[in-house]
């Protein structure tokens, strides 16, 4: 006598147990996969910043060790061409050149200036996205705004000869491509926690490195960061090119 085919089927309880096991495995593995994916993006971003640092090094060789400007004077003082290729200020083909336009010919690739984890998109002005390549990185505010009223007007970041500790001074930091900023400081931290609560930085000597973001930066009033005389009293000398110390305090 043949056995009924029903004897080979799953019971409802067995099916529920299998589903429960799959759900548990998924709950365990999905965060692992997400972390692995983010780690890969962090590594790709670090590769981007290393190549940008190489481009900066070549730029310095061609310009007598003078660090690039943050941007050209905006309109109406600047009427161009040349114009930026990035989604910056008024956008590609319209706005003045930014620092990335100067470094890009040495880096050879505009896509390097877009962090793979930066999903903020291009800046929105009057309801429309500004045209151009996304720009996920910006320059250190304090290379252009210094104590005692020294303002470089964004035309130069100064000379490497002025720095006693370039290997411990931030020059390029991560930013949000939607922020429409060419310079950043600790209170403009849109990109500083992008990769596992940290981000990638290019120091003035052109080497790139990952650092976690110190959470106390968020507790300092923005007005303090806006005044170099007060900001330099904070325990983060890596932001201030005029300080001789090499103690980064990360």
Residue 167: CB atoms within 10 A of its CB come to 13
**Per-residue pLDDT at 27:** 81
**Per-residue pLDDT at 153:** 58
Calculate the dihedral angle through the C-alpha atoms of 188, 193, 198, 200, rounding to the nearest 10 degrees: -60
C-alpha 148/C-alpha 171 separation (Å) is 21
The residues, any chain, with a CB within 8 Å of residue 190's CB and separated by 6 or more, are: 120, 175, 176, 179
C-alpha 31/C-alpha 116 separation (Å) is 19
Beta bridge pairs of residue 86: 133
Return the structure tokens found at 245: 């110390």
For residue 176, give the 3-state DSSP assignment.
coil
Q: Which of 118, 139, 134 is nearest to 190 (CA)?
A: 118
Angle, CA 214 vertex, CA 213 and CA 220 arms, to 5°: 120
Q: Looking up tokens 């067995």, which residue turns up?
A: 14
Beta bridge pairs of residue 181: none
**Per-residue pLDDT at 74:** 72
DSSP state of 169: S
pLDDT interval class at 149 (50, 70, 90):
low
Calculate the dihedral angle through the C-alpha atoms of 203, 205, 206, 212, rounding to the nearest 10 degrees: -20
Tell whether the model's pLDDT for residue 23 goes beyond 90: no
C-alpha 53/C-alpha 103 separation (Å) is 9
Return the structure tokens found at 41: 């993006």
pLDDT interval class at 93 (50, 70, 90):
very high
pLDDT per residue as tens digits for the range 195-232: 999 999 999 999 999 999 999 999 999 999 999 999 99
What residue ranges do the domains of the chain occupy? 13-239
């Amino acid at each position: 006598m043949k056995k009924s085919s029903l004897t080979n089927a799953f019971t409802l309880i067995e099916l529920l147990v299998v589903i429960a096991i799959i759900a548990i495995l998924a709950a365990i593995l999905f965060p692992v996969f997400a972390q692995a994916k983010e780690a890969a993006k962090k590594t790709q971003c670090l590769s981007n910043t290393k190549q940008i640092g190489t481009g900066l090094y070549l730029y310095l060789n061609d310009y007598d060790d003078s660090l690039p400007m943050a941007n050209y004077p905006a309109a109406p003082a600047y009427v161009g061409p040349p114009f930026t290729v990035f989604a910056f200020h008024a956008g590609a083909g319209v706005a003045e050149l930014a620092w990335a336009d100067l470094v890009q010919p040495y880096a050879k690739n505009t896509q390097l200036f877009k962090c793979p984890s930066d999903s903020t998109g291009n800046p929105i002005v009057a309801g429309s996205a500004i045209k151009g390549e996304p720009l996920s990185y910006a320059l250190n505010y304090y290379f252009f705004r210094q104590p005692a009223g020294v303002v470089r007007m964004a035309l130069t970041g100064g000379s490497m000869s002025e720095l006693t500790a370039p290997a411990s001074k931030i020059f390029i930091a991560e930013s949000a491509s939607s922020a429409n900023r060419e310079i950043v400081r600790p209170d403009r931290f849109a990109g500083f926690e992008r990769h596992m609560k940290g981000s990638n930085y290019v120091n003035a000597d052109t080497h790139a490195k990952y650092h976690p973001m110190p959470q106390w930066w968020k507790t300092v009033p923005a007005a303090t960061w806006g005044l170099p005389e007060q900001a330099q009293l904070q325990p983060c000398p890596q932001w201030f090119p005029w300080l001789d110390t090499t103690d980064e305090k990360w």
